[in-house]
A and B are shown apart, each in its own frame.
Chain A
Amino acid sequence: MKFLPSQDASFSTSVRNHLKEIQKTTEGNTTIVEGKYVESPHSGKVVFKPNDEKVCPLCALNLNLKHTDVLVLSQFVRPNGQLLPRRITGLCCVQQTKLTKLVTMSKKAGLMPNLAPANSHKDPAKRRGSKKLHRFFDEATIRDTTLRNVARYREIRYTK
């Protein structure tokens, strides 16, 4: 039996992007709060292939991160300064604790002032007392327990 689709049905072969963003617009007296579907800001730039995304990113890349590598560390931090949970980022607990310490160091050094709560100054020079002075940290003081997990991870293929 031939099954013909109706003329109103629309088919889409591309993957529907399910990422949502809550957008607030004010027009005069009315404020419209809308949940809109948006393109993922990470699409096309993720280092791993989609079927390999179940692996801990930091273990696989073996980056030897410093607290000054702000472009990498800021990916795991929310705009208000909180760290993202492991179920979102896919990090293993060993890397998550290491990242927590690195982000703490980076924030104390004043290198991520824009990732802070809304009521913050967002300027390290406005901190009180000795906190406004420049600081740096030694990453060797973080206990490295990643060696025992290396054997557990399979070979990772990169997109390029």
Chain B
Amino acid sequence: MSSARRVQQWVTFGRMWYLFDAKWQNPFDASTKIVKVLSGSHKPIYHNDIDCGDHVVVINSAQIALPGDEWERRVFYHHTGYAQGASWTLAHQVHEKDKTMVFRRAIYHALDTSLLRHARMCRLHIYPDEEVPEEILRNVSAQLRQMRAVPKRLDHYTEDEVKNFPKLFEWPKDYVLET
């Protein structure tokens, strides 16, 4: 085949490796995007039987954010299979034990319940911080955009930025400033 055809073949059928930074992201919102990439639905050649899903490498899963009081309300259910083996664990307890588990379970439950689910989960690589093994990072060639903007803390702004920001009111006469 010609070189142009060969390039087109690789680009169409090659398995891509994407990076996703989970810092300050909601794993349940991000799962809608990641699940689409894992199953291959984002490709025009998609068919369920041809197993065309891509790899997703998730970093900073220890720094995910949940809305409001969900850390204290979201439960993960597990049954050992034996009698009295049911347990309901809160999200913050699960996160303390394993920093990747909340993200992993969010993706698992967002994936279609098919026999391909475990194969798709094998193509998901989650790391709690930015340390990724070299043989995996070598394959990564694109990045998925974050869904939430990472907020900036007030003490991370420089003193000049805070001082020169437009002010919304003037102090009244004879006011005693606090330091």
Q: Is the CB of A137 within 8 A of B67?
A: yes
Contact B167 A134 (CB under 8 A): no
A119 an interface residue at 8 Å Cβ cutoff?
no
Determine if B24 is an interface residue (Cβ-Cβ < 8 Å): yes
Tell me, in angstroms, the Cα distance from A72 to B154 when the chains sit together. 10
What residues on B are CB-neighbors of A53 within 8 Å? Answer: 169-170
CA distance A53 to B34 in the complex (A): 50
Asked if B44 lies at the interface with its beta carbon under 8 angstroms from chain A, I say: no
Report whether B153 and A110 are in contact in the complex, using a CB–CB cutoff of 8 Å: yes
Residue in B24, B95, B157, B168 whose CB lies within 8 Å of A72 = B168
A100 interface contact, C-beta 8 A: no
* A109-120 interface code vs B (CB 8 A; 1 in, 0 out): 111111100000
Which chain B residues (93-110) contact chain A, with CB distance < 8 Å?
95
Contact in complex: B71, A45 (CB < 8 Å): no
Q: Give the interface centre of B65, B154, B172, B175 by most chain A CB atoms within 10 Å.
A: B154
Contacts of B168 in A (CB 8 A): 46-48, 57-58, 61, 72, 75-76, 89
B149 neighbours in A (Cβ, 8 Å): 68
A105-160 at interface with B (beta carbon < 8 Å): 109-115, 122, 129-130, 133-138
The answer for the CA separation of A112 and B103 in the assembled complex, in Å, is: 27
Would B63 and A113 count as touching, CB distance under 8 A?
no
**Count of chain A to chain B residue pairs whose CB atoms are closer than 8 Å in the complex:** 127
Q: In whole angstroms, what is the CA distance A104 to B12 when docked?
A: 50
Known: A70-B152, A114-B154, A135-B68. Contact between A78 and B171, CB under 8 A? Answer: no
Within 8 A of B (CB), among A21-49: 21-22, 35, 38, 40-43, 45-48
Of A42, A61, A76, A78, the most chain B CB neighbours within 10 A belong to: A42
Interface residues on A, range: 35 or more
Residue of A with least CB distance to B176: A20
Contact, CB under 8 Å: B153 / A111: yes
B64 in contact with A18 (CB, 8 Å): no
- Are the C-beta atoms of A133 and B165 separated by less than 8 Å? no
**Binary CB contact string for chain B from 97 to 141 against chain A (1 if under 8 A, 0 otherwise):** 000000000000000000000000000000000000000000000
Q: Which residues of B contact A (CB under 8 A)?
A: 24, 26, 63-68, 71-72, 90, 92, 95, 148-149, 151-155, 157, 161-179
By Cβ-Cβ distance, the 9 closest A-B pairs, closest first, are A130-B92, A134-B65, A57-B168, A68-B151, A42-B167, A114-B155, A70-B154, A130-B71, A21-B177
Which A residues form the contact surface with B (CB < 8 A)?
Answer: 18-22, 35, 38, 40-43, 45-48, 50, 53, 57-58, 61, 68, 70-72, 74-76, 78-80, 88-90, 109-115, 122, 129-130, 133-138
